[in-house]
Amino acid sequence: MTLKKKCATLEDRIKRLQEIGLSLSTEDDINVIFELIMEEARNITNADGRTLYMISDDGKTMNFEILRNDSMNTIMGGTSGTDIPFPPMQLFDEDRNPNHSSIVAYSANTGKTVNIKDAYKEKGFDFSGAKNFDKSTGYRTKSVLSVPLKNHENDIVGVIQLINAKDSKSGNTISFSGDMQQQVESLASQGAVALTNKRLVAELKNLFESFIQLMATAIDAKSPYTGGHCERVPEIALMLAEAVEKIDEGPFKDFKMTDEERYELKIAAWMHDIGKVATPAHVVDKGTKLETIYDRIETVKTRFEVLKRDAKIDFLLKKLECLETGNAEGVVNAESDYQERIDQIIKDIEFIETCNVGGEFMQKEDQARVATIAKYQWNMNDSTLPFLDEKEVENLQIAKGTLLPEERQVIQDHITITIDMLEKLPYPKNLRNIPEFAGGHHEKLDGTGYPKGLTANEMSIQAKIMAIADIYEALTAADRPYKDGKKLSKAMQIMHFMKKDAEIDPDLFEIFVKEKVYQKYADKYLGFNQLDEVDEVALLA
């Protein structure tokens, strides 16, 4: 070969190594990386058979990842969709001694390349498996090259085994030359570094995602009043986003997400309530109007018992006085007044207990009656006190739900805290929209939502998707101690009203209904008693 040809060949090899290095560094799919390594190994050696082994996490075995044999038309592993049926190769024997009988195990254990001209004539390794294979198939294993994959830290992560290098002109089996060995070793080094980097990125990504899910699970576990909310909202959000992507007409016809954007939405959905970690449990868990650390209704009922006691004492004193004076009619009147007083106290107890349970709306006359009862007098330690203090009256007069305005503000502040927390994280480029996606699920299209009062054109599609997912999960959740999960038809009817009131996006809600996202989720998560008929025509009207 002339010097000019040698230079051209060398230049071509350097160029190919650069190209494969670039491909390995930009590819994310591990299986594709495996195949890139093996394809380049074939380009270098024209090897008929190629196998890639990767060392298991425990370092005890090697798993088959790629298996190719051109003359036998065998394609297994990688992206082929065909599993490799062979068991993992053991790197140690029963006494934990390194396996040096197999050339692949030897390369993995020692980090050394093994280059064999003829397997049938080799005395240092056990080729009985190859010979049995040849006997059953008619194949002839001859030249073998086993190259360990060493990363930048000199750790061995796998082994490439090449069988039967072919002469490019004659097609005859030849030995692996020293030049081939060098190039494959260089390729193996590049591949090992690329695989190590990708695995490290994947492990960090997995750690990041697991930590997020751990935080979300902790928030759900913090209070039975949130149940599995943080876990289920991501599923609804992704189901709806997938349905929106399929639409080829209307305002969302151009909406498409890459895998990275889909992952971004998933993470945002998991983190949408992260601020609840700072919300006091006694506010989140406030199941009745008088509840703080405990339900103060029991304290109020104790006061009623004091009223009963005092009424009985007054009655007995009046009765004794009447008996002493022979006033029979006075005794009857005292008994009547006493019974009337006890009946009124019992009615008041039942009324206050009813008021203590949050509802959709409290009538003005009921609020006035609470104020009247508050003025009752009761005695404690020779002191006369108002029956209810100002805070108890304020709580019992809550018109809707169980929360005072300041307590509701504490609850709503969770989204502000969520945004503050999320904005402090140093996101990679593909996750920078998480604070906006996660922080917008309480916004409304008309600007009356919180915390920023955004309008429709100020919200991303993902934030609008999050709002629907959050509401639907909350309406249908059956694991909250303060309420039963609503029936499917009722939940959808409420969302229909919210659509009409510009609280959720009408076009997204239409897709939610038409593509039956609500039904797919319901079939998986709702109780049988919640599943009823939904009038989709009415919802879309």
**Domain presence at residue 290:** no
Residue 83 pLDDT class (50, 70, 90 cuts) = very high
- The pLDDT of residue 480 is 60
What angle (nearest 5°) sits at the alpha carbon of residue 286, between those of residues 282 and 288? 145
Mean predicted confidence (pLDDT) in 376-399: 88
Average pLDDT over residues 256-284: 89
Residue pointed to by tokens 């009203």: 497
Co-location of 481 and 521 in the same domain = yes
Q: What CA–CA distance (Å, rounded) separates 398 from 402?
A: 7
- Calculate mean pLDDT across residues 105-114: 95
Alpha carbon separation from 379 to 131, 173, 386, 406, 504 (Å, rounded): 101, 108, 9, 32, 53
Q: What is the CATH number of the domain that holds 49?
A: 3.30.450.40
Task: For residues 86 and 93, give the distance between their C-alpha atoms in angstroms, rounded to a whole number.
Answer: 18
What is the SS3 assignment for 76? strand
- For the chain, what is the mean pLDDT? 88
Does residue 458 sit in the same domain as residue 513? yes
Nearest CA-CA partner of 509 in 525, 522, 520, 493 = 493
Classify residue 292: in a domain, yes or no: no
Task: Tell me the backbone φ, ψ of residue 288, rounded to 5 degrees.
Answer: -130, 165
Quote the number of domains for the chain.
3
* pLDDT mean over 89-99: 91
Strands 47-55 and 89-90: unpaired
Within-domain flag for 207: no
pLDDT value, residue 222: 77
Would you say residue 22 has pLDDT above 70? no
Nearest of 484, 443, 488, 450 to residue 467 by alpha carbon: 443
Mean pLDDT of 333-337: 91
List, in sequence order, every beta strand (DSSP E) within 103-175. Answer: 114-116, 144-150, 156-166, 173-174
Same domain for 253 and 157?
no
Strands 156-166 and 144-150: antiparallel
- Among the listed residues 492, 471, 474, 476, the one whose alpha carbon sits nearest the alpha carbon of residue 525: 476
Q: How far apart are CA 200 and CA 263, in angstroms?
A: 18
Nearest CA among 514, 538, 539, 541 for reference residue 252? 514
Q: Tell me: pLDDT of 117 over 70.
A: yes
Per DSSP, 86 falls in state S
Q: What is the pLDDT of residue 11?
A: 63
Cα 292 to chain centroid distance, Å, stands at: 32
User: What does the pLDDT read at residue 485?
Assistant: 75
Least confident of 170-184, 278-292, 337-351: 278-292
Domain termination site, one of 364, 396, 428: 396
**Range(s) of the domain holding residue 476:** 223-283+406-540
- The answer to whether residues 261 and 391 belong to one domain is no
Same structural domain, 142 and 197: yes
Which residue, of 146, 168, 201, is where some domain finishes?
A: 201
State residue 277's pLDDT score.
84
Q: Give yes or no for residue 226 having a pLDDT over 80.
A: no
d(CA 348, CA 350): 5
pLDDT score of 18: 62
What CA–CA distance (Å, rounded) separates 314 from 318? 6
pLDDT at 164 over 60: yes
| Cα–Cα distance, 361 to 119 (Å, whole number) | 87
Question: What's the pTM?
Answer: 0.70
pLDDT at 393: 92
Domain annotation covers residue 210: no
Peptide bond into 405 cis (omega under 30): no
Q: Which helix (H) or strand (E) holds 68?
A: strand 61-69
Which phi and psi angles does 532 have, rounded to 5°? -135, 180
pLDDT reported for residue 13 = 63
Q: Dihedral of the CA atoms 302, 304, 307, 313 (nearest 10)?
A: -60
* Pairwise CA distance, residues 541 & 119, whole Å: 77
Give the pLDDT mean for 237-252: 94
Same domain, 172 and 317: no
The least confident of 284-298, 316-330, 441-455 is 284-298
Query: Are residues 443 and 364 part of one domain?
Result: no
Which residue has better confidence, 358 or 117? 117
Q: 334 or 239: whose pLDDT is higher?
A: 239
**506-514 average pLDDT score:** 96
Among 134, 166, 201, identify where a domain stops: 201
Cα gap 242→197, rounded to integer Å: 31
Region of 381 on the Ramachandran plot (φ > 0 left; ψ -120 to 50 alpha; else beta): left
Residue 450 tokens read as 């919180």
CA torsion sign for 100, 105, 111, 113 is positive
Clarify whether residues 411 and 504 are in a common domain.
Answer: yes
213 in any annotated domain: no
Average pLDDT in the 480-505 region? 86
520 pLDDT above the threshold of 70: yes
d(CA 520, CA 145): 53
- Short-list 60, 36, 32, CA closest to 50: 36
Q: What integer is the mean pLDDT of 452-477?
A: 94
Q: Which amino acid is at 285?
A: D
C-alpha distances out from residue 440 to 372, 420, 469, Å: 43, 13, 12
For residue 430, pLDDT beyond 60? yes
Quick one: tokens of 342? 């006890």
Residue 211 placed within a domain: no
Answer yes or no: do 385 and 418 share one domain. Answer: no
Q: Are residues 447 and 319 in the same domain?
A: no
Give the count of beta carbons closer than 10 Å to the beta carbon of residue 164: 26
Q: Is residue 218 part of a domain?
A: no
Q: Is 468 helix (H, G, I), strand (E, B) or coil?
A: helix
Q: Residue 482: is its pLDDT beyond 60?
A: no
Confidence of residue 16 (pLDDT cuts 50, 70, 90): low
Is residue 27 very low, low, confident or very high in pLDDT (cuts 50, 70, 90)? Answer: low
User: Are 15 and 72 within one domain?
Assistant: yes
Tell me: do 255 and 273 sit in the same domain.
Answer: yes
For every residue of 26-47, DSSP letters joined together read H---HHHHHHHHHHHHHHHH-E
Q: Between 12 and 295, where is the model more confident?
A: 295
**Within a domain: residue 273?**
yes
Task: Report percent pLDDT > 70 for the chain.
Answer: 93
Q: The CATH number of the domain where 463 resides is what?
A: 1.10.3210.10
- Higher-confidence residue of 279 and 240: namely 240
